[in-house]
Amino acid sequence: MLKAPVGKAEMKVGIVGLGYVGLPLAMLFVSKGFQVRGIDIDHNKIENLRQGISYLTDVADEEVKQLVASGRFETASQYSVVGEVDAVILCVPTPLRDHAYPDLSYIQSAASAIAPFLKQGQLVVLESSTFPGTTEEVLQPILEKHGKKAGSDFHLGYSPERIDPGNKDVTLERIPKVISGVSQGCLLKLKQLYGQVFDTLVPVTTPRAAEMTKLLENCQRFVNISFINEIAMICEAMGIDVWEVIEAAKTKPYGFAPYYPGPGVGGHCIPVDPLYLEWKAKQYQLDTRFIQLAKLVNDQMQDYVLERIKKLLPTGKTLVNSRLLLIGITYKKDVNDVRESTPLGIFGKLLELGGVVLYHDPLVPRIEWNGRIYQSVALTPQTLAACDCAVLLTDHTQLPYDMIVKHAPLIFDTRGAIKRAHPHVVRL
């Protein structure tokens, strides 16, 4: 994967933030022959990379070793490296403050750190997901503090990252890349850079349009998953199998897009980005009613799952006096990410109730909850047989579904992962 195309001009790209977005992007640029300098404030990540150890599920240690051995990737913890590169791409987090408001502090501090080192003709691109206006209203003024102007001295643009961690079907370079610039000249620079790396470019006229594109995508997903979760609750009350209904509905050759129920939407993006849009829309005295409703439904899901478990348990058993085994603790399958994870929230609620709750996740050996560390238990016939109910919360591909079905006395499958009907398996 990391072979350099022969004869390629060696441009240097700096990537700020080497997480779920930045590291795969760095690998892609290196595979296309670029020199990459990766900057991260997390010294553990830098140290792991130097030692050839991956911290992402999608990236194998071997790939990190190849990256380092390619001679085209170096890590840096000093921002002065920005002065050596032709383009700087920001891939820093955009979480929520107080669970509700945009927290742009990572963008602001990364921008302040790189601003003194910007040089004439350099390109700066923001890839973090954020509300419309961030590039021009927040990032640009910080970058211009040292006298250089975007559009004339350096180039500035926004290109939303659309990576889907855990998805092995679509490689990063095949995901069409939406690009924008604060001027036509800036857009041209983005085209020149990204055109060498991605199969398809989708230029839009302004950074605000590109920022909004990302939010539209994630808001649509948030609203639709919450909607199908509401339908799932209605179906359950009516004694209808929602999974059967979705399978039947999706045979319609037009006009229906299937979404699937689950224990609630989590992760760093889908439940977070809509609140960025909500915050910005308020500045225009607008309510985001679909987003509010989607959030309301999503916020109910953990309690709904607990209620369903309660109802399933045999007579005399409660959430407190049962032994529950939660299978999967990450927010979605095949990733090791527990940010905003609803399975983790369910684990925490059960702990707070004082129940006996264990978890197993092949990708997360230990987790922290309220300052305490919990270890993933081994998934064996004995652990399964010893629980009152196994609750399947994340449908990782590598889970031994047959063994779970064979040995657990009762299973609540919140992901519809167990396809065949069994008397002791109940789906959400």
Ligand X SMILES: NC(=O)c1ccc[n+]([C@@H]2O[C@H](COP(=O)([O-])OP(=O)(O)OC[C@H]3O[C@@H](n4cnc5c(N)ncnc54)[C@H](O)[C@@H]3O)[C@@H](O)[C@H]2O)c1
Write the DSSP string, 36-79. EEEE-S-HHHHHHHHTT---STTS-HHHHHHHHHTTSEEEES-G
Establish if 308 lies at the interface with ligand X (CB under 6 A): no
Establish if 269 lies at the interface with ligand X (CB under 6 A): yes
Establish if 328 lies at the interface with ligand X (CB under 6 A): no
Establish if 42 lies at the interface with ligand X (CB under 6 A): yes
Residue of this chain nearest to ligand X (CB atom): 19
Least distance in angstroms from the C-beta of 22 to ligand X:
6
Answer yes or no: 269 catalytic. yes
Query: Which of 93, 262, 328, 362 forms a contact with ligand X (CB under 6 A)?
Result: 93
The mark string for 61-80 relative to ligand X (x by CB under 6 A, - otherwise) is --------------------
SS3 of 81, please? helix
Establish if 17 lies at the interface with ligand X (CB under 6 A): yes
Smallest Cα–Cα separation from 175: which of 25, 331, 337? 25
Establish if 124 lies at the interface with ligand X (CB under 6 A): no
Angle at 372 between CA 96 and CA 398, to 5 degrees: 75
Angle at 422 between CA 417 and CA 428, to 5 degrees: 45
CA–CA distance, 123 with 187 (Å, rounded to integer): 10
Residue ranges with strand state E in 72-188: 73-76, 87-90, 96-97, 101-102, 123-126, 155-158, 177-181
Cα-Cα-Cα-Cα torsion 104, 263, 325, 385, nearest 10 degrees, comes to: -150
Of 5-13, 33-41, 175-183, 280-288, the segment contacting ligand X by CB under 6 A is: 33-41
Which among 235, 269, 387, 389 is annotated as catalytic?
A: 269
Establish if 222 lies at the interface with ligand X (CB under 6 A): no
Angle, helix 242-249 to helix 207-238, in steps of 10 degrees? 130
Q: Which is nearer to ligand X, 118 or 411 (CB)?
A: 118
Query: Which of 87, 150, 163, 425 forms a contact with ligand X (CB under 6 A)?
Result: 163
236 CB neighbour count, 10 Å cutoff? 18
Establish if 342 lies at the interface with ligand X (CB under 6 A): no
Q: Which is nearer to ligand X, 129 or 302 (CB)?
A: 129
Site residues (CB under 6 A) for ligand X?
16-22, 39-42, 45, 91-94, 106, 109-110, 113, 128-129, 161, 163, 165, 268-269
Q: Which residues carry out catalysis?
A: 269
